[in-house]
Amino acid sequence: MNPAAHDSGMVSERVRERMVERVREEGVRDQRVLDAMERVPRHVFVDAALSSRAYEDSALPIGHGQTISQPYIVARTIELAIAGVADPRRMKVLEIGTGCGYAAAVLAQVAGQVYSIERLRALHDLARANLRSLRLSNLHLVLGDGFLGLPAQAPFDAIVAAAAGADVPPAWLEQVVPGGAIVAPVGAEVQHIVVLRRDATGRVMRKVEEEVRFVPLRSGVQ
């Protein structure tokens, strides 16, 4: 191995550890999520011009009016999705909005099967390229309209969204198992992470979490 490349790898590993420590300090406590964050090289998913900022706890542009989510938010939404689950490796999870693929990669470290749907072909292709070197056999990328969920693979144990709508689309509620969680940003001017759970009778329980800022949820495929 080229010594410079080895040194660079060690540096990125150390800064990734510091990023995860910041995420922990901000309130994420699930060690399974923190371990997953530490395993995924975030710099692989950002533009080369922004690589020096890859491990900042901030959102960064990835083109097409979209962003790679803040590490804390990625960790927090996954933590909420698997809350109370003894073995997340038994879970089948749907991510709405693949973007550059980073959150999907982290989710695939935690859950048994992950389906991630993206409506923009350019981002779908970008995520596929970004993820190739990680060889995540349990992660399945889909080009499609996330507003409709992914009925062909339903039901899911959890659905995690990376775009904010006025409310959670009814299709998502129909595609999650009783007791399963939907974790999604909701709102326009002011957005909050909302966790929805549907019980066996069909009753939906709703819990509002922290304020966030996400790109808007849109329908259709481009």
Catalytic residues: 69
Backbone φ, ψ for residue 35 (5° rounding):
-65, -40
Beta-strand pair 66-68/60-63: antiparallel
Q: Which residues pair with 205 in a beta bridge?
A: 197
User: DSSP assignment, residue 215?
Assistant: P
Q: Which residues of 179-200 are buried (b: 16+ CB within 10 A; e: fewer)?
A: ebbbbbbbbeeebebbbbbbee
* Length of the chain, in residues: 222
What radius of gyration do the chain's Cα atoms show?
17
| Residue 90 contacts residue 61 (beta carbons within 8 Å) | no
Taking Cα atoms as reference points, which of 183, 205, 162 lies closest to residue 67? 162
Which DSSP helix (H) or strand (E) runs through 159?
strand 156-161
Say how many Å lie between the first and final Cα of the chain, rounded. Answer: 41
The two tokens of residue 22 are 């910041």
